[in-house]
């Protein structure tokens, strides 16, 4: 399936009796977006090997090009490599902190929340006006969480009742640093403030109630930005000091833990599975699902642990020969599994006992309302799942049956339903399955290759 296509596609998923092989899931979206944005304001040329190519990252690259950044995309011609498409690289000609050009049109962020929120931080410190806009889906997502702190820093932002489009006014002078305890634990909010902090006088300090993904901090540190992190008063704090310029970087993007997660759960619930997941990003702020699966009784072998750039990476081998059992997930573990909660719900349908997920209100404001909509779709496959005020509860194990379900325009919903359909007793049709192109255009081909 070509990403960027507006064709609506339905996908048939047949039940399977085993899953075999090895897979390198597509590269990490969060890291690719950050590398594209930060590479664009570095002082020189950055090289991003194996960037993720999907709808979200294409939108991010397009925005940076509109701001005057030259981004070359070299695709490998090595046809012998099974991962030849992954041998591509972005060569980003950074324009320095103050070298971006005024865009002649709106910066269209597609459906990429990370592009819109992080870019807003970066744009808030520029001397020119710009408008950030996005798809109908992105226009519904909450933006006040970033516009409020950015305004406290002195940014001039007009948001349409808290949503995109965002009109950001050019500033003749610097922003000012703030000390901000964020009301929601969100890496996008934290990163927007840190990127604005690059254009602020004084220190920029952020405190979050749970430690969210720290790819921005790791990348900024590599680029020479002085950063301190500590824990106090029940919060995780990060402080950034002024830096006159950013060093360019070279990095290889690991496979996205959140994309590999669909296969982790498939390996745990499909019998007779031997599956090796390669090059998986193992940043501890992202790997909550591994802890959850272990607590549920899965066996996880972590091999070939290494550091790529500033990020830990490993190969994983997962199975659950004795089945899974239900558990409770809350607090820090919920934050560290936030994007994996839909696929965790699928695992829970096959686990013995009750699985309760708490502190997951944020699921209501993802690409779809994952508490109401996703739960209803999983129900259609026979799952015994109910939304609660701040999460969901699953009673298992339940035999699933095939049905016609809807991807709800949400990549993680469509991929989670596909994994559930693997263990159903009859075929399932997923309507609008093309939405996987947001992060994982080749998902259904990869799945077919392992069955």
Bridge partners of 204, per DSSP, are: 240
113-124 and 55-66 helices cross at what angle (nearest 10)? 20
Q: How far is the CB of 187 from ligand S3P (least distance, A)?
A: 4
Cis peptide before 165 (omega within 30 of 0): yes
Specify whether 55 is catalytic: no
Q: How far is the CB of 440 from ligand S3P (least distance, A)?
A: 12
Q: Which of 339, 406, 410, 446 is catalytic?
A: 339
- Contacts with ligand S3P by CB under 6 A: the residue count is 10
Where does residue 136 rank: exposed (0-12), middle (13-18), buried (19+ CB within 10 A)? exposed
Stretch that binds ligand S3P, among 77-85, 132-140, 181-189, 317-325 (CB under 6 A): 181-189
Of 92-121, binders to ligand S3P (CB under 6 A) are: 114
Which of 213, 218, 336, 370 forms a contact with ligand S3P (CB under 6 A)? 213
Assess contact for 360 and 390: CB atoms under 8 A.
Answer: yes
- CA angle at 159 for the pair 154 and 165, rounded to the nearest 5°: 125
Q: How far is the CB of 114 from ligand S3P (least distance, A)?
A: 4
Of 349-378, binders to ligand S3P (CB under 6 A) are: 362
Please report whether residue 188 would count as binding ligand S3P according to CB under 6 A.
yes
Residues 227 and 233: their CA atoms lie apart, in Å, by: 19
Stretch that binds ligand S3P, among 9-17, 180-188, 227-235, 426-434 (CB under 6 A): 180-188
Sequence length of the chain is 451
Stretch that binds ligand S3P, among 63-71, 151-159, 167-175, 187-195 (CB under 6 A): 187-195
Which of 238, 298, 338, 417 forms a contact with ligand S3P (CB under 6 A)? 338
Stretch that binds ligand S3P, among 80-88, 151-159, 183-191, 221-229 (CB under 6 A): 183-191
Contact characters 288-317, ligand S3P, x per CB under 6 A: ------------------------------
- Read off the tokens for 157: 């932002």
Bridge partners of 352, per DSSP, are: 325
Residues 24 and 77: their CA atoms lie apart, in Å, by: 19
Please report whether residue 147 would count as binding ligand S3P according to CB under 6 A.
no
Residues 235 and 44: their CA atoms lie apart, in Å, by: 36
- For the CA atoms of 161, 162, 165, 171, the dihedral, rounded to the nearest 10 degrees, stands at 110
Of 27-66, binders to ligand S3P (CB under 6 A) are: 30
Residues 418 and 405: their CA atoms lie apart, in Å, by: 10
Query: Which residues carry out catalysis?
Result: 339
Residues that bind ligand S3P (CB under 6 A): 30, 114, 186-188, 191, 213, 338-339, 362
């Amino acid at each position: 399936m070509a990403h960027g296509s507006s064709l609506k596609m339905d996908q048939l998923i047949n039940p399977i009796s085993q899953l075999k092989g090895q897979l390198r899931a597509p590269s990490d979206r969060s890291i690719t977006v950050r590398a594209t944005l930060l590479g664009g304001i570095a002082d020189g040329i950055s090289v991003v090997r194996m960037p993720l190519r999907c709808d979200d990252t294409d939108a991010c690259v397009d925005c940076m090009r509109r701001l005057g950044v030259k981004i070359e995309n070299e695709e490998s011609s090595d046809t012998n490599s099974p991962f030849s498409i992954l041998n591509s690289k972005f060569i980003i000609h950074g324009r320095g902190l103050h070298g971006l050009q005024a865009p002649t049109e709106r910066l269209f962020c597609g459906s990429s929340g990370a592009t819109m929120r992080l870019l807003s931080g970066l744009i808030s410190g520029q001397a020119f006006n710009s408008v950030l806009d996005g798809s109908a889906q992105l226009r519904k997502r909450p933006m006040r969480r970033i516009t409020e702190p950015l305004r406290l820093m002195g940014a001039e932002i007009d948001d349409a009742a808290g949503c995109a489009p965002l009109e950001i006014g050019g500033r003749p002078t610097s922003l000012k640093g703030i000390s901000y305890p964020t009301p929601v634990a969100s890496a996008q909010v934290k990163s927007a403030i840190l990127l604005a902090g690059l254009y602020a006088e004084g220190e920029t300090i952020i405190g979050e109630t749970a430690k969210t993904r720290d790819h921005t901090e790791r990348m900024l540190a590599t680029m020479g930005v002085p950063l301190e992190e500590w824990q106090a008063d029940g919060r995780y704090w990060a402080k950034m000091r002024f830096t006159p310029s950013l060093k360019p970087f070279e990095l290889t993007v690991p496979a996205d833990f959140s994309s590999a997660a669909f296969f982790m759960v498939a390996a745990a619930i499909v019998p007779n599975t031997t599956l090796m997941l390669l090059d998986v990003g193992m940043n501890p702020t992202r790997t909550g699902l591994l802890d959850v699966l272990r607590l549920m009784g899965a066996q996880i072998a972590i091999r070939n642990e290494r550091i790529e750039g500033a990020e830990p990476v490993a190969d994983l081998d997962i199975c659950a020969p004795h089945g899974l059992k239900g558990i409770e997930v809350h607090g820090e573990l919920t934050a560290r599994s936030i994007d994996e909660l839909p696929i965790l719900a699928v695992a829970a349908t096959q686990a013995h006992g009750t699985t309760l997920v708490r502190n997951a209100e944020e699921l209501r404001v993802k690409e779809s309302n994952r508490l109401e909509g996703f739960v209803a779709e999983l129900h259609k496959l026979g799952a015994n799942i109910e939304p609660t005020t701040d999460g969901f509860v699953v009673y298992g194990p339940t035999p699933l049956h095939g049905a016609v379900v809807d991807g709800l325009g949400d990549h993680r919903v469509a991929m989670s339903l596909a994994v559930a359909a693997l263990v159903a007793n009859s075929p399932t049709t997923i309507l609008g399955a093309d939405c996987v192109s947001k992060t994982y255009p080749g998902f259904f081909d990869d799945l077919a290759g392992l069955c």
